[in-house]
Structure 1
Amino acid sequence: MALKPVTIAFDVMGSDHGPVEVVRGAAQLSLESPHIHTLLVGDRAVIDDALAQIRHNGERISVQHAASFIAMDEKPGEALARKPDASVSVAARLVAEGEADALVSAGNTGACVLACARHFQLLPGVRRAALAAVYPTRIRRGDKEDPFSLILDVGATVEATADDLVTFAVMGAAYARIISRNEQPKVALLSNGTEPTKGPRHVVEAHARLGGLPGMRFIGNVEGVDIPKGTADVVVTDGYVGNVCLKMLEGVHETVVELAQYAHKESLRWRAGLAMLSGGIQRIKDITDWEQYGGAPVLGFDRIFIKAHGRSQARAIANAGKVAAKAAANELGKSIQQGLAR
């Protein structure tokens, strides 16, 4: 069956590695995915120079000039006000106007979310959007055998109500069904204990409501230790707790990698031990390879936005485009609305 054609707008400017890696990712898509048309938004001269040096299918790539961009260290609100023609704003506007079906950016997260908030509309029944993140786990799930669980919110809504948590659960479950092809994702609330009465009032209230929600495979509360175990496919929390949790998980991963590098340099005996464990280490690297996923969504808007990691290179950018295309082709927004209606 032919895949539904979609157009993905890429914010080319502002990522850690600059525009060339984003262009390379789009070029890769143009050769691998005939149903995806890429709209590159940024400095036309820079984009044209990059395309001239990269093998690509010109029929599947177009360019929209944007005179400026938001750097990673700029304050989002001030920068967007000062630069109305910044690449992320232009790209978001093009998606809102129907020139593209989804937006992908590896730029300043705050600026990306704010640009979407200014150009997109919240879905009916959604009070606040949620920034999600993916985290590798030791089990695989769904027809896709996806090793990632979804955590939301991780920063967009710092103080969430019970209503928000229920909405996040519905949105996260819809996303997991479409992207991971997991028909019945396990959804849980993040709390300080597994008992239904554990946690602050809004978590306890959300627990009671999610337990009776039709079509929701709610497994109750989970603790932080359960996230890397893969106990739940979708972990729901407010933005403050989610952001702290995500940064802690990222820190643990980086520390383990640094310790392994130190051990390899310092001792022949440790190097021999690492060599013996090479198969297991490679397995860990395969599981924790976030570039295979590409990016994570901001959920709740009537248009699709996939936030790629700032350090993304071509492979991750291309995979973020594939995730965005899948979400758009399978009408993620409509699926979320159906879940909220229940």
Structure 2
Amino acid sequence: MATKLITIAFDVMGSDHGPAEVVRGAAQLSLESPHIHALLVGDRALIDDALAEIKHSGERISVQHASEHIGMDEKPGEALARKPDASVSVAARLVAEGEADALVSAGNTGACVLSCARHFQLLPGVRRAALAAVYPTRDRHGQKADPFSLILDVGATVEATAEDLVTFAVMGAAYARIISRNENPKVALLSNGTEPNKGPRQVVEAHAALSAMRGLQFIGNVEGVDIPKGTADVVVTDGFVGNVCLKMLEGVHDTVVELAQYAYKESLRWRAGLAMLSGGIQRIKDITDWEQYGGAPVLGFDRIFIKAHGRSKARAIANAGKVAAKAVAHDLGKAIQQGLAR
């Protein structure tokens, strides 16, 4: 039986690197994945110029012109109101209307989430959507096929109730099963202690509800130190705490990289040591290479949206398209609804 063609709408104008990098990613996807059609949304002239410079499969790429775009430093609500033909808004509308099956953008996160909220519908039983993030973990036992874990929410819902946290847990587990091929992901609440009564009231209430839930491997509370250890495959929190946590993890990673670069430049002894450790360093780079994952989802809507990092280049964009297609092919929305029904 022929594989169903899946159309992914790409917000071409969103990346820090400009439209050409997103087009290159879509072009790469068109050559690697015959079951995916890329719908490029943005300035047609810029898209056509970029396509003329790179190898691609013309039958698997189409273009939808959008005359405006939203910059990273613009206020999402104001920008969307001022720019009705913004590429991310046009792409979200096309997905909502069935012209495409999923949306990928590396653009302004707030504008992306707000565009989805305006054009998509929340799934039955979901009160608020959650923006997730993938983060690299240390697989201490060699059991994880996927070196990444998921943390949610990281910004879409600043204050979450106990009911929201339970919903986030179910959505995150469904995503991990489909995307990470983890049949029984370990789910945890982020708190200031592992005891069931630790944390604010909503975390304590969510802990009780999740402990009683069937079909979910809830392992209780974890602390911030457990996140990079990979103690849990899905870590649940509210958007304020999650966003602070995510920024801290990114800062630690950048600091370690900068220190290694400084040491390499300043000391011959350090250079010799780094050379001896090159195999291990490459292994660390492979594990922490977020570009292999491509992006992370906004969960809770009836349509698929994958948010790629603003610094994404072609490889990451192509992989974000693959993640989006996988979520569509395995009907992520239905899996979430089944989990909520339990």
- Shared fold per TM-score greater than 0.5: yes
Helix, strand or coil at the partner of 1:134: strand
Instruction: Tell me which amino acid in the other structure corresponds to 1:130.
Output: A
Matched, 1:80 2:80: yes
Structure 1 residue 164: Cα displacement:
0.3
Give 1:229's aligned residue.
229
Deviation at 1:3, TM superposition (A): 3.7
1:145 match: 145
1:142 Cα offset (Å)? 11
Please say if residues 132 and 299 of structure 1, whose CA atoms lie closer than 8 Å, have aligned partners that are also in contact: yes
CA distance in structure 2 between the partners assigned to 1:183 and 1:272 by the alignment: 43
State yes or no: 1:271 paired with 2:271. Answer: yes
Q: 1:226-254, CA deviations, whole angstroms, 9 ceiling, x for partnerless residues?
A: 11110000000000100000000110000
Q: How many residues align?
A: 342
Partner of 2:199: 199
Shift of 1:158: 0.6
Equivalent residue runs for 1:57-206 within 5 Å: 57-139=57-139, 145-206=145-206
**In the TM superposition, what is the alpha-carbon distance from 1:270 to its structure 2 partner?**
1.1
Q: In the aligned structure 2, how far is the partner of 1:171 from the partner of 1:245?
A: 20
Q: What corresponds to 1:256 in structure 2? A: 256
| Distance in 2 (alpha carbons) for counterparts of 1:202 and 1:39 | 41
**Amino acid of the structure 2 residue aligned with 1:76:** P
| In structure 2, C-alpha distance between the alignment counterparts of 1:70 and 1:329, rounded to whole Å | 30
Give me the whole-angstrom Cα distance separating, in 2, the residues matched to 1:198 and 1:3: 48
- The AA in structure 2 aligned to 1:53 is E
Q: How many angstroms does 1:139 deviate by?
A: 1.3
Q: Which segments of 5 or more consecutive residues in structure 2 lack a partner in the other structure?
A: none
The one-letter code matched in structure 2 to 1:263 is A
Q: What's the counterpart of residue 55 of structure 1?
A: 55
CA offsets, 1:166-198, max 9 Å, x none?
Answer: 000000000000001111000000001111111
Structure 2: distance between partners of 1:301 and 1:198: 31
Residues 152, 116 of structure 1: alpha-carbon distance in 2 compared, 3 angstrom cutoff: same
Letter in 2 for 1:321: G
- 1:77-113 superposed Cα distances (whole Å, 9 cap, x missing partner): 0000000000000000000000000000000000000
Q: Over the residues paired in the alignment, what is the CA RMSD in angstroms?
A: 1.3
Shift, 1:143, TM fit: 9.2
Once residues 273 and 229 of structure 1 are traced to their aligned partners in structure 2, the CA distance between those partners, rounded to angstroms, is 25
CA distance in 2, matches of 1:331, 1:142: 29
Separation (CA, whole Å) in 1 of partners of 2:33 and 2:88: 24
| Change beyond 3 A, Cα 1:14–1:3 | same
For 1:182 and 1:205, how far apart are their aligned partners in 2? 27
Deviation at 1:214, TM superposition (A): 1.1
The secondary structure found in structure 1 opposite 2:132 is strand
Match of 1:294 in 2: 294
Task: Please give the secondary structure, in 1, of the residue aligned with 2:125.
Answer: coil
2-side partners of 1:280 and 1:52: how far apart? 40
- 1:67–1:87 contact (8 Å) kept in structure 2: yes
**Cα-to-partner distance string for 1:99-158 (whole Å, 9 max, x where unaligned):** 000000000000000000000001111111000000000118999811000000000101
Summarize the Cα distance change of 1:141–1:238 in structure 2 as closer, same or farther, 3 Å threshold. farther
In structure 2, C-alpha distance between the alignment counterparts of 1:144 and 1:29, rounded to whole Å: 26
> Judging changes above 3 Å, is the alpha-carbon distance between structure 1 residues 191 and 143 closer, same or farther for their aligned structure 2 residues?
closer
**Cα–Cα, structure 1 residues 79 and 236, in superposed 2: closer, same or farther, change >3 Å?**
same
1:40 and 2:40 equivalent? Answer: yes
Note closer, same or farther for the CA distance 1:284–1:321 as it changes in structure 2 (3 Å cut): same
Deviation, 1:4, is: 3.1
Q: Taking structure 1 as the reference length, what is the TM-score of the superposition?
A: 0.98
CA contact (8 A) 1:9 1:91 kept: yes
Alignment-derived partner of residue 332 in structure 2: 332
Counterpart-to-counterpart distance in 2, 1:166 and 1:18:
38
Deviates more, 1:275-284 or 1:14-23: 275-284
Contact 1:140 1:146 in 2 (8 A): no
